[in-house]
Structure 1
Amino acid sequence: MVSLFSQPYPIDDDPLRQLRRAAAIGLFIGLFLVVFQPFGLGNWQTPAKLFKIAGFGLVTFVITAFNFIVWQRVFPRQFAENRWTVWREILLVTGNILLIAIGNRFYLEWLLDEGEDSGVGWLGMILITFLIGLFPTTGAVLLSYIARLRKYTRAAAGLPVQVVDEKPPGEALPVSGPALNLVAENEKDSLTFPAADLIYIESSDNYCTVVYLKADSSGTLQPVKPLLRSSLSRLESQINQLSIARKPFVRCHRSFIVNLDRVERVTGNAQGYKLHLLGGQFQIPVARKYNDTLVAELKAL
């Protein structure tokens, strides 16, 4: 069970989807409180009662949007997909539930007239909200994890990949085709090598790591990882200018471009597909928005 909570879990980094999710949660809470009026709200006598109760949904929306959107921008490393796991997702959602309880309690105190008693104590309201939310949250995340894991594992098993001939360690596919010239933003630094030797490119901040094969002193091809100061989009544009009939270089993630001719195996986990290259030395994630493109390109190989 402990290992299950440590498994990778997808994190949504699309602000628009997060905003829609927060709106859905706020709408649900608002409607739930208006219809069922728990925590003594049914006995509350006040003008515009339903309007005020619906305000709990607005508070819920604001808090949830802040938690799902702002924290990821403030602490990007903590919310990086390669670090996100099942227990982190449970912690995020449970923490959001607690903050919603506290925020709505403050809202209730603001609504009440001076000296008026809501009938529910601070601790009671927060504890009830936490207990009500904890177990459904845990169950929902675990069920989502299992469903995503099965989906991507089965789909990955049916994807075609590059068949690499058996060769001594360090050797790779034969080199052919034109040279690839990648130029940095300063228009001075550049890399030139056979396009077929490109493995992948990874962006990080204002730099890109270009991973390609290069012969060492003994003539054996080994992966090298020089840096270029450039955006990934700029390098992608340069790659697309290659005059070749078929371009196996595909954007598979906002931070990665991969050479599909170097993909030797595709696996799946709850976060999506993983591309394995160069005997498993490199594992490249595939973002959900690029799934359809990647699958189509692999099937076209």
Structure 2
Amino acid sequence: MPFYINKEHLLNEIEYPTRYQPENLLKSSAIVFASIFVFLLLFAPFGVYEPEFRLNYFLICFFHAFSPALILFSYFGTYNYITRNQLKNWTLLKEYIHVGIFLLLSGIASFLMRDLIYNNPNNWSWRYLYEEIRNCFLAGILFYFFLRMAGFYFKSKKGSPFVLQFTPLENKTQKTAVSPTLFINTQVKQDDFTLNLEDLLFVKADGNYIELTKSNNEEATVELKRISLTQFEKQIADYPHFFRCHRTYLVNMFKIEKVSGNSQGYLLSFPNTNAKVPVSRNQIESFNNCYNQLRNLQIA
């Protein structure tokens, strides 16, 4: 059976993880320290002859837990400093590469601590270097996925599930009987206008006006029209791919490039603009349902 890797999934751009961001890095390091320290105390996984210990077991556990926590804080702290003025363009592949480098550094650090912890004449052998790196990878991968699953669980307990695998929807309006060009009636006849819905990214309410953000020829433009968002929404009711995601926003589901956030609210990204459109917390479930319905229609 051939070995298959979903390269597209690994290379899709995702949000830079909050756990590595400067404001959360100390907390993440503390979680890593506490998790490893408790694990070592409870399960005593060291396969070392006890008379070889230079320190008592509590201190050995402390140093083995403190070392990776310090490396995590230093490594991603340095990375954040280097990339502070750049877009991080994070992907799952980058995530796994950086985690692999972190585990390699942790294994080397454990090897360098052997003379401090163990009274063994072969502490500096290649065998122990290999064993320390191997053990860090085996235990580290286990802890990584355990902590990721725990994070997903606690996020899901806060509210509706997050759209973890968002795939942009394909625009199939040209294949339907409904025309993408629509004539919009306003309260003042001279302000009536024609709109190509295929160019529309999202609509923002501005009192009795709306701002239409459109994308054409790889350039986003904004137009102001004299009509309320509620009145505009009623006139495009025949187009189910337009969704009222917020009190002041209506979005074209076919134009969403990326979804970020959590169960407290999403942020939607669109092509050719840096603007982010919020999905309010009470609309998350409806947004997920709308997305799934449109996606199922495409698959059918």
Please tell me the residue identity of whatever aligns with 1:263. Answer: V
**1:75 equivalenced with 2:109 (yes/no):** no
For 1:38, what is the secondary structure of its paired residue? coil
**Partner AA of 2:8 in structure 1:** S
Alignment-derived partner of residue 58 in structure 1: 66
Q: Give 1:46's aligned residue.
A: 54
**Unaligned segments of structure 1, at least 5 residues:** 157-163, 179-193, 201-210, 216-220, 222-257
Q: Could you tell me how far apart the structure 1 residues matched to 2:204 and 2:53 are?
A: 80
Within the alignment, does 1:105 sit opposite 2:122 as a pair?
Answer: no
* CA deviations over 1:98-154 (Å, ceiling 9, x no partner): 2111122222334456x7444961122213322443477579869989x99x73279
1:264 corresponds to: 252
Is the counterpart of residue 22 in structure 1 residue 29 in structure 2?
A: yes
Secondary structure in 2 aligned to 1:152? coil
State the 1:48 CA deviation.
3.0
Between the aligned partners of 2:111 and 2:118, the Cα distance in structure 1 is 11
What residue number does 2:163 align with?
152
**Does residue 1:275 correspond to 2:283, yes or no?**
no
Amino acid at match of 2:9: L
**Structure 2: which 5+ runs fail to align?**
1-5, 168-179, 183-193, 215-219, 226-245, 288-300
Separation of aligned partners in 1, 2:108 and 2:78: 18
- Structure 1 counterpart of 2:33, one-letter code: G
Q: Distance in 1 between matches of 2:12 and 2:23?
A: 26
> Is the CA contact (8 Å cut-off) linking 1:197 and 1:212 kept in structure 2?
no
User: Contact between 1:101 and 1:126, CA under 8 Å: does it hold in 2?
Assistant: yes
Deviation at 1:199, TM superposition (A): 4.6
Q: Distance in 1 between matches of 2:257 and 2:223?
A: 30
Distance 1:121 1:177, change over 3 A: closer
Instruction: Indicate conservation of the 8 Å contact 1:274/1:284, yes or no.
Output: no
* Whole-Å separation in 1 of the counterparts to 2:90 and 2:131: 32
Measure the CA separation in 2 of the matches of 1:46 and 1:196.
Answer: 72
Structure 1 154/131 Cα, relative in aligned 2: closer, same or farther at 3 Å?
Answer: closer
Secondary structure of the equivalent of 2:14? Answer: coil
Residue from 3, 22, 25 that aligns with 2:8: 3
Distance 1:3 1:17 in 2: 29
Contact (CA 8 Å) 2:14, 2:90: kept in 1 or not?
A: yes
Conservation of the 8 A alpha-carbon contact between 2:258 and 2:268: no
Partners in 2 of 1:3 and 1:197 — Cα distance?
35
CA distance in 2, matches of 1:136, 1:52: 19
Shift of 1:177: 6.9
Count of residues paired in the alignment: 220
Q: Read off the aligned partner of 2:44 and give its amino acid letter.
A: F
Asked if the contact 1:199–1:262 (Cα under 8 Å) also holds between the matched residues in 2, the reply is no
**1:12 is the counterpart of 2:17:** yes
Distance 2:280 2:203 in 1: 29
Q: Report the equivalent of 1:36.
A: 44
1:94 is the counterpart of 2:100: yes
1:152 counterpart letter in structure 2? V
TM-score (norm 2): 0.51
CA shift, 1:65, in A, is: 1.4
CA distance in 2, matches of 1:90, 1:98: 12
Quick check: 1:98–1:129 contact (8 Å CA) kept in 2? yes
Question: Retained in 2: the 8 A contact 1:8–1:271?
Answer: no
Residue 282 of structure 1 deviates from its aligned partner by 4.2
Which amino acid is the alignment partner of residue 39 of structure 2? F
Question: How many percent identity over aligned positions?
Answer: 12
- Alpha-carbon displacement from aligned partner over 1:213-270 (angstroms, at most 9, x marks no partner): 369xxxxx9xxxxxxxxxxxxxxxxxxxxxxxxxxxxxxxxxxxx9954633385867
* Aligned-partner Cα distance in 2 for 1:153–1:45: 46
Q: What is the TM-score of this pair, normalised by structure 1?
A: 0.51
Tell me whether 1:213 sits opposite 2:213 in the alignment.
no
Shift of 1:54: 1.5
Shift of 1:32: 2.6
How far 1:5 sits from its partner (Å)? 1.2
Asked if structure 1 preserves the Cα contact closer than 8 Å seen for 2:203 and 2:249, the reply is no
